[in-house]
Amino acid sequence: KQEVTQIPAALSVPEGENLVLNCSFTDSAIYNLQWFRQDPGKGLTSLLLIQSSQREQTSGRLNASLDKSSGRSTLYIAASQPGDSATYLCAVGFNKFYFGSGTKLNVKP
Amino acid sequence: ETGVTQTPRHLVMGMTNKKSLKCEQHLGHNAMYWYKQSAKKPLELMFVYSLEERVENNSVPSRFSPECPNSSHLFLHLHTLQPEDSALYLCASSQAVRDTQYFGPGTRLTVL
């Protein structure tokens, strides 16, 4: 069974800082990996999807990388803003999607 | 309406009630999903439908009964639930099973 771990569980940074969120998974035979953000009490918003054949994807200030061999993905957020405050979830596409528990990010003005 | 919608947004029910959650997607997708999100636990996949056929049933108790009458609608019928079933129930859809998933806002369910 696939296990997905996200570190740290919570992160608080001042506005403007660059930051990295980590996601690791136990079985490298994945077909894709997806990063989401979730605002309190709401559904998930898809940020980036990386296919297993890709190494990274970029969207605006976000960059996600994938290293299948080591079972890791990182989400890099440049020049963080208070509006980035949310819980960030990674989901690994295996025989189905497996989710991590998330990293709760707080960006202080 | 655009994207994925869910009704109701909040539901409180007793253990002997029968209720249904509704999900509708306006994206022309062929796959739909039910997830359960409990406090301090990872999102748990419950059911997957592809082209209106159930392709995944993730060992969910029979008190949860899904229904997919067409590719745009998905229901979750609830009966004789337990307090530990209280959670946020999320619906999602994707073009195909391995594609990017788009989520609805969820139904916050409280079982008394």
pLDDT at B1 over 60: no
Q: CA-CA distance, A68 to B43, in Å (whole number)?
A: 22
Does the distance separating the beta carbons of B58 and A44 come in below 8 Å? Answer: no
Average pLDDT of the residues in B82-89 = 95
Does the distance separating the beta carbons of B98 and A32 come in below 8 Å? Answer: yes
Picking from A31, A43, A89, the nearest residue to B104 by CB comes out as A43
How many CB atoms neighbour CB B94 within 10 A?
21
Which band of pLDDT confidence, cut at 50, 70 and 90, is reported for residue B7?
A: very high
Q: Which of A47, A49, A90, A97 to mutate to test the interface with B (most CBs of B within 10 A)?
A: A97
A94 touches A2 (CB < 8 A)? yes
pLDDT score, position B52: 81
pLDDT score, position B92: 96
What residues does A86 pair with on adjacent strands?
A105
Q: Quick one: closest CA in A to B42, which residue? A: A101
pLDDT score, position B39: 86
**CA-wise closest residue to A89 among A103, A76, A78, A77:** A103
What residues does A97 pair with on adjacent strands?
A93
Percentage with pLDDT > 90 across chain B: 78
**CA-wise closest residue to B67 among B77, B55, B79, B56:** B77
Q: Which of B101, B102, B108 to mutate to test the interface with A (most CBs of A within 10 A)?
A: B101
A82 touches A73 (CB < 8 A)? no
pLDDT score, position B16: 86
Picking from A42, A89, A91, the nearest residue to B105 by CB comes out as A42
A76 touches A13 (CB < 8 A)? no
pLDDT in tens, A8-67: 999 999 999 999 999 999 999 999 999 999 998 788 999 999 999 999 999 999 999 999
Tell me the shortest Cα–Cα distance from B27 to chain A, in angstroms: 15
pLDDT score, position A94: 80
Q: CA-CA distance, B96 to B92, in Å (whole number)?
A: 12
Separate counts of helices (H) and strands (E) for chain A: 0, 11
Instruction: Of A52-56, A68-72, A95-99, B27-31, give the lowest mean pLDDT range.
Output: A95-99
